[in-house]
Structure 1
Amino acid sequence: MNIDVHPAPAAQRLRAEAPHPPRRGHLPLGDPEGTSDRIEITSGWIERAGKPWFPITGEIHYSRLPRDRWSEVLGHARAGGLDTVATYVLWQAHEPEPGRFRWHDGLDLRAFIELAARHGLDVIVRMGPWAHGEARYGGFPDWLVERGVATRTNDADYLELVRRFYGQIIGQLAGLTHAEGGPVVGAQMDNELYDQPQHLATLRTIAEDLGLRVPIWTATGWGGAQVPGSLLPVYSAYTDGFWEDSATEWPDFAAFHFRYSEVRDDLTVGADLREALDGIVLDPSAVWLKDDAALPFATCELGSGMHVAYHRRPLVTSEEVGALALAKIGSGSIWQGYYMYAGGTQRRGAHGTEQESHATGYPNDVPTVSYDFYAPVGEHGQVRRHHHLLRRQHLWLATDGSQLAAMRTTVGGGGEDPSELRWSVRSDGHRGYLFLTTYQPARRPLDPQPGLQVTVELDDAVVTVPSRPTDVPAGVSVAWPLRYPLTDELVLRSATAQLVTRVADDAGEIVVLSATEGVPVELVLEGDVDVRGVGAARHDGGHTVVDLVGVPGPGAFVELPGVRVLVVDEETANHLYRLEIAGRDRLVLADAPVYGVDGGLVAHPDTESVTVSLLPAPVSLTSEDAEVLVASAVAAPWRTWTVRTNAGRRLLASGLQPHAAAPPEPARGGPMGRLSAPRDFSGAARVELDVPGELVAGVDRALMRITWTGDIGRALIGREVVSDHFWHGRTWDLDLTPWREQAARDGVTLELLPWCDDTGVWVDPSVRDVPEGITVPSVEIVRVAKVVLVAEEASRRWS
């Protein structure tokens, strides 16, 4: 590629070349020719039914969720723009004793996959046998570990047990594979296996011998892994890691993931386990971090949150998650895969809790119960800000991802110098997207870019964006369209706003763009174009430049020939969904989490009222669960309803400063000598909380939300530990719903250990300045409702 960068830091000129035709038929992956909805893996992207496909996958562990929450979590995933979910099949959960398999209740893999399909989601089955996933022995059953076979190798005794386990999994998948018209499109072999390519290849052979036929076979490729040619390597990227040492302020490789680069590997993810369990220490200078032109750039573990360990407790933010994900698209990713997309709860087995721990030979002690991971959808269904930030990207990929996947990536400026402009372009030679970022976490922020202007040379045009130099503030990441076709006749030459989605109402098509806070919105149209609505037009060099009159928002429509462009602000974009409601795709604006199922709209508000706006607007919106009122002021073409619920928050306690009489002394353990989580709570502070029955009754879910500071805590109902929390700066949520009656009768007991600076636990600098000891500023009950809303069109209502 030819890149000509001018020396001025914020005035760049670059050339984006057209992609080369991809190689085909060189990989033992994909469906046979003639297969319905055929999936093919090329050297550049994945194709489906003859068109490039940009999968969006999120990790959801069915065995770590209550079965009655599966549909809700999958609904949020689909509403968040995912088209695929991945899930570990944890061997220890399904074969707790040799030869005795369990596939019932919350372990019903088949039912989970069928439910995913009902929500419009395909499935990647991560079959193990070893999973990691912060599980006890990485998911291996205790009996297997005790048997002493050479696991994760081609040892005959081990493979015989694997064959039995795989046979059970594949039996659950009968009739559900892609070749059979089902949702299972792929399988992953083992996880984070670095030096056994023959074994990885053997695992696929065993699965195929047992009858599994899927088009996509993967293995994790990070850490310099040796992946055989029969598997597609998939990669990771995290903004921080609990597995780092407590002396690490920020992992060296983390900053790399906020830059554009076609390098796919990350040597730090799982490095502690490589060293502690396998004795492998990688010399970064000896590992070639390569761009393999024979394989597409696919990911499976973009960190959409982060777990905590006792010794190190990262505080990953929603903004970090969104910026990292967009940076990977700007780096050439053709498959966005997130870990975790929905948090869960660690399982309990015959040996107690089933988490990774020093007691089982691992370098980290993690919470015994909570596996929340600060995921977009939390352990108890909490929908977080990054669910919305990612959804904006996913709506864009659903709209134009087929074209984007086949575009060539040109990575340009921006290294470690915080003043340098970081940019890349993805283009097919005729059109594309310009990626720019001034975002990096607060510990190493980037500078703003004053007077920014970039000129991109395409094969048949030169596009300068913006038309006049513009200041870009620090802390933003954008993907600006270049020569995007609004209609067959009208081209959006450039925009300083991002494509979100498009939808049609009775008046025609609507293209939705999102403004970026601090960046003036400018649209440039090719040719002389009639502009109406909130757009003010001026002509420049044969093009029409449109500036907004007023501010972006749900009513900011620029009316153009054959199309309307709706320019929304970031807050509106974060509440915007595109869902199929009552038989047609609609834009949905809601100030509570929503998802669609069976043509209806499901909301989970935690406030006493919620507003819902739809476009195209149906005639009515009704519910049997709540009172629905039509808003008195209607901003056409939207229509808005107010829904009154019995949700809300109730203060239970405040201003507590409990004292721990005899906290245990710090201890170290595990193969790396890290701080161990205390197990002795006999000297902990005890807080007895009465829970009025009316606060946990009559709603879909009742959470106890504890705002506190300290070291670690656990919550008991009766004698059972129902939740635990390693304090790291966030509130602590526990779900009282499964224990409503017992919690109302017996209350909840918190056992809390105090914060002590000298212990050496790492927490984020932004929350380190807390007093030693324990504080509990507030304990609330958060009542979450479930409201099913039904929309009706005129023809249906009057029939």
Structure 2
Amino acid sequence: MMTNEDVHEVARRSDRTVAIAEGPEPRRGHLQLGEPAGATDRIEVTSRWLERAGTPWFPITGEIHFSRIARERWSEVLGHAAAGGLTSVATYVFWQAHEPEPGVFVWEGNRDLRAFVELAAAHGLDVIVRMGPWGHGEARLGGFPDWLVERGLATRTNDPEYLKLARSLYAQIIQQIAGLTHAEGGPVIGAQMDNELYDQPEHLAMLRTIAEELGLRVPIWTATGWGGAQVPETLLPLYSAYSDGFWEDTATEWPAFAPFHFRYSEVRDDLSVGADLREALDGIVLDPDAVPLKDDSALPFATCELGGGMHVAYHRRPLVTPHDVANLALAKVGSGSIWQGYYMYAGGTQRVGAHGTEQESHATGYPNDVPTRTYDFGAPIGEFAQIRPHHHLLRRQHLWLAEDGAAVASMQTTVGGGSDDPDELRWSVRANVQRGYLFLTTYQPAKRPLADQAGVQVAIEFPDTTVEVPSRPMDIPAGVSMVWPLRLPLAGGQTLRSATAEVVTRIGLDDGRDLLVLSAAPGVPVEFVFDGQVEVAGSVSTEQRDATTVAVLAAKPGLDTIVDVPGTRILVLDDATANALYKLDVFGRERLVVSDAPLYSFDGDLVLHSEASEADVLLLPGVDALTARSALAASVVTGGSAWQQWHLAIEGAGTHRLVGGVALEAPRPPAIVSGGPMDRLSAPTDFSGAAHLPVDLPATAGDADRVLLRIDWTGDVGRAVVDDEVVSDHFWHGPVWDIDVTGVLGETIDLQLLPWREATGVWVDPTVRDVPEGIAVKSVDMVRVARVVLSGPDSATTGSR
């Protein structure tokens, strides 16, 4: 006899069915976007997706601010971005950096927009220029020069005097990228007009008109669409999604919209992002019930600010984890995104100008005090090109989209389960009538985690067959997000009807077969279902069932876990190995690379950056010989493995402890002060009573490419001073504090530290909140980062990379 719980479970499972029908044809020609028919490599914007050269296209963009990164690090950062699977980079042009005085424009050093765009192209990346005039980006006055604000104009409107100055700025930007637009064979595919402008659609439209009058021709014109923004028809609205926000109040444990970003939903907008600025600077308070959160069918679902991490303010200091970033990003693909854009993808350092540091602050009328120098943002690539775990987690998604993104972009999205009920299975399907993908998630941040799901099975009804996946109900552990293939075509004419493992990438083998790389999620058994009777070899148990062949993996996933079917070898990787996998054009051909140190390809070589004195690089297919600069390379033969392993002994890399286990006392901590238009806690500016920890730096970097000082500490605010100049600062919130000291070697760096005091009322994440008051320096390490160039037998390594 069935119990009430049994009946409830049967009802729940009956809801896990979706019927796939032919989707509507995309509307074309209704938007003032894209390029004319016949254009080379034509980019078109349809109502459902973007197209390039007549094929649906799934771009992946990361925000990288050239003027906040040392020019000599541009190539390294762009190289890692390309290796991470980005197809393009977006960058703000901060007006204050380029016209510090009226009529005096500066495009030199790390303000050289043209050089940055050309270097991005050299790394195979397109560029979207965020032209302002107002940019925000936690910059002083939103990036406006002080002299502009002092004139008292009606900025960000069609005031003639303001437009005259904006036209001058635009003319300069357009001159910088002349010859580099997509129509001219260059990398610039898009331009953003202003930023976070909510109630001036006629001004946004005018900015595009001005840019076109000045000669700019790009296929994609955008504006930020979140916060209920009124975007004119001439611009494509792009959306955001953050898992937390420094702009919230100290009483906010988790922003109201944040949980929704970990579910599948057709809602594109987020009313919480930038709400403090709308209220404090523009006087706009939105009624959530009056804002259409779901766009009509005229526009594709595109993003430009998926949180690649999160900045911190003095009053509120979120701690966004790598898995938060990756799971949110995948949820957006499962919700129908056809353009993944990350903010930030690489951190940087706030500039110093004539008026001091150029960060937003209470002193310039902003609701938040942010650090004066660091703009690390907890990004996949850190302020000093440190490679973070979410760079690897996101790369797995990007490898999949590079392999199958054209199909995914054109697939319809059906959200099966996506409510805020933590007991409901969250699932979505992106599919066409031939094939698709099933998305499942049990992930939500630690503030509000989800439980596991028992007996999961979803039925996808294609017009000619129903695919049940898994083939029998399966338990899904908590804390995972997965996307499983449905009816994936394989070489040799086979069809992978379903699999409980993720597609990572595919590569051609020398014997004419394909190598399909899949990744297994921790705690999830791997099952393959093939259409028809298929010969399956490898460590699997097989059975014939309902005109299909079901194979269950019996071996642990790993580098050599292979399942063979006619025409295709299926490599099933474990989670950790999948995170170390790259697909790169290197040593004359496309290869799979597994490395325990971050790397990228450039001019056919591998460029590796390592903090450790040893590293292993595995290649498939292998090479006859390798030449290593700044390292000794020795081939290691792995018995029976298809992978060729190279062990590197790296000169100059390593970590050396300078200070350990020190408790300090600040003799006169500053008073607790509030300020700004929302009366939030203000960052201390008086360090006269701070604790001092002087650290003597080595005279040279030796064989290292750069030297970082890494401080593991607890306290409130720290700043690093060399010769009376603040070179770095840090609002403590859990992560270590890194400082690039390569340029100040031989000096003494004075760490000025203020104590953690619960009475201050600063909000930090619950996972790090329980720390004693005062200042505790657990360690200060000197980290030497080495740069190694690996060249193959036919490489000609010349010049700088």
Displacement of 1:583: 1.8
Displacement of 1:444: 0.7
Displacement of 1:523: 0.8
Aligned residue in 1 for 2:608: 603
Displacement of 1:14: 2.0
Q: Deviations over 1:24-53 (max 9, x none)?
A: 000000001110000000000000000000
Distance in 2 between residues matched to 1:793 and 1:573, nearest whole Å: 29
Q: Deviations over 1:159-207 (max 9, x none)?
A: 0000000000000111000000100000000000000000000000000
**More displaced, 625-634 or 671-680?**
625-634
Aligned residue in 1 for 2:622: 617
From 376, 392, 414, the counterpart of 1:410 = 414
Displacement of 1:652: 0.5
- Corresponding pairs, count: 786
Distance in 2 between residues matched to 1:177 and 1:8, nearest whole Å: 52
1:162-177 map, 5 Å: 162-177=166-181
**More displaced, 411-420 or 164-173?**
411-420
CA RMSD after TM alignment: 1.3
Aligned residue in 2 for 1:691: 697
Aligned residue in 1 for 2:3: none
**More displaced, 340-349 or 537-546?**
537-546
Displacement of 1:291: 2.9
Aligned residue in 2 for 1:126: 130
1:172-211 map, 5 Å: 172-211=176-215
From 103, 109, 116, the counterpart of 1:105 = 109
Aligned residue in 1 for 2:148: 144
Distance in 1 between residues matched to 2:10 and 2:305, nearest whole Å: 36
Partner SS state of residue 642, structure 1: strand
**More displaced, 642-651 or 587-596?**
642-651
Displacement of 1:292: 1.8
Aligned residue in 2 for 1:374: 378
Aligned residue in 1 for 2:364: 360
Q: Does 1:650 align with 2:651?
A: no
Displacement of 1:621: 1.7
Q: Does 1:586 align with 2:587?
A: no
Aligned residue in 2 for 1:318: 322
Aligned residue in 2 for 1:117: 121
Q: Which amino acid aligns with 2:788?
A: V
Displacement of 1:8: 2.6
* 2:492/2:568 contact within 8 Å kept: no
* 1:10/1:450 contact within 8 Å kept: no
Q: Which amino acid aligns with 1:528?
A: Q
Displacement of 1:306: 0.2
Distance in 2 between residues matched to 1:416 and 1:734, nearest whole Å: 41
Partner SS state of residue 87, structure 1: strand
Distance in 2 between residues matched to 1:122 and 1:499, nearest whole Å: 25
From 61, 64, 67, the counterpart of 1:60 = 64
Distance in 1 between residues matched to 2:125 and 2:693, nearest whole Å: 43
Aligned residue in 2 for 1:738: 743
Q: Deviations over 1:581-634 (max 9, x none)?
A: 012110000000000000000110111100000001111122122100111435
1:454-533 map, 5 Å: 454-487=458-491, 489-507=493-511, 508-533=513-538
Distance in 1 between residues matched to 2:380 and 2:183, nearest whole Å: 31
* 2:197/2:224 contact within 8 Å kept: yes
Q: Does 1:441 align with 2:442?
A: no
Q: Which amino acid aligns with 2:630?
A: D
Q: Which amino acid aligns with 1:17?
A: A
Distance in 2 between residues matched to 1:294 and 1:143, nearest whole Å: 41
Aligned residue in 1 for 2:6: none
Aligned residue in 2 for 1:343: 347
**More displaced, 467-476 or 185-194?**
467-476
Q: Which amino acid aligns with 1:780?
A: D
Distance in 2 between residues matched to 1:617 and 1:386, nearest whole Å: 27
Distance in 1 between residues matched to 2:717 and 2:525, nearest whole Å: 46
Q: Which amino acid aligns with 2:616?
A: T
**More displaced, 16-25 or 227-236?**
16-25
Distance in 2 between residues matched to 1:487 and 1:760, nearest whole Å: 60
Partner SS state of residue 479, structure 1: strand
List, as ranges, runs of 4+ consecutive aligned residues in structure 1 with deviation greater than 4 Å: none
* 1:132/1:139 contact within 8 Å kept: yes
Aligned residue in 2 for 1:229: 233
Q: Which amino acid aligns with 1:435?
A: F
Displacement of 1:11: 7.4
**More displaced, 12-21 or 450-459?**
12-21
* 2:265/2:418 contact within 8 Å kept: no
**More displaced, 520-529 or 6-15?**
6-15
C-alpha spacing 1:635/1:373, structure 2 compared with 1 (3 Å): farther
* 2:128/2:190 contact within 8 Å kept: yes
TM-score by length of 1: 0.97
Aligned residue in 1 for 2:646: 641
Distance in 2 between residues matched to 1:62 and 1:299, nearest whole Å: 21
C-alpha spacing 1:612/1:377, structure 2 compared with 1 (3 Å): same
C-alpha spacing 1:564/1:540, structure 2 compared with 1 (3 Å): same
Distance in 2 between residues matched to 1:492 and 1:791, nearest whole Å: 36
Aligned residue in 2 for 1:775: 776
Displacement of 1:458: 1.4
Q: Which amino acid aligns with 1:660?
A: A
**More displaced, 285-294 or 112-121?**
285-294
Displacement of 1:488: 5.5
Displacement of 1:6: 6.1
Aligned residue in 2 for 1:303: 307
Q: Deviations over 1:737-772 (max 9, x none)?
A: 1212xxx2x321100000000110000001111000
Partner SS state of residue 592, structure 1: coil
* 2:88/2:125 contact within 8 Å kept: yes
Aligned residue in 2 for 1:254: 258
Partner SS state of residue 173, structure 2: helix
Aligned residue in 2 for 1:273: 277
* 1:10/1:452 contact within 8 Å kept: no
Displacement of 1:9: 5.4
Q: Which amino acid aligns with 1:493?
A: R
* 1:430/1:461 contact within 8 Å kept: no
Distance in 2 between residues matched to 1:729 and 1:635, nearest whole Å: 44
Q: Which amino acid aligns with 1:172?
A: Q
Distance in 2 between residues matched to 1:18 and 1:317, nearest whole Å: 39
Distance in 2 between residues matched to 1:750 and 1:10, nearest whole Å: 61
Aligned residue in 2 for 1:679: 685
Distance in 2 between residues matched to 1:668 and 1:426, nearest whole Å: 48
* 2:16/2:416 contact within 8 Å kept: no
Q: Which amino acid aligns with 2:115?
A: A
Partner SS state of residue 16, structure 2: strand
Aligned residue in 1 for 2:5: none
Partner SS state of residue 623, structure 1: strand
Partner SS state of residue 172, structure 2: helix
From 549, 556, 573, the counterpart of 2:561 = 556
Displacement of 1:17: 2.8
Partner SS state of residue 751, structure 1: strand
Distance in 2 between residues matched to 1:163 and 1:400, nearest whole Å: 41
Distance in 2 between residues matched to 1:284 and 1:594, nearest whole Å: 45
Distance in 2 between residues matched to 1:10 and 1:442, nearest whole Å: 30
Displacement of 1:720: 1.2
Q: Deviations over 1:258-314 (max 9, x none)?
A: 010111000000000000000000011111212321000000000010000000000
Aligned residue in 2 for 1:70: 74
Q: Which amino acid aligns with 1:403?
A: A
Displacement of 1:13: 1.9
* 1:618/1:793 contact within 8 Å kept: no
Q: Which amino acid aligns with 2:641?
A: A
Q: Which runs of 5+ in 2 are unaligned?
A: 1-8
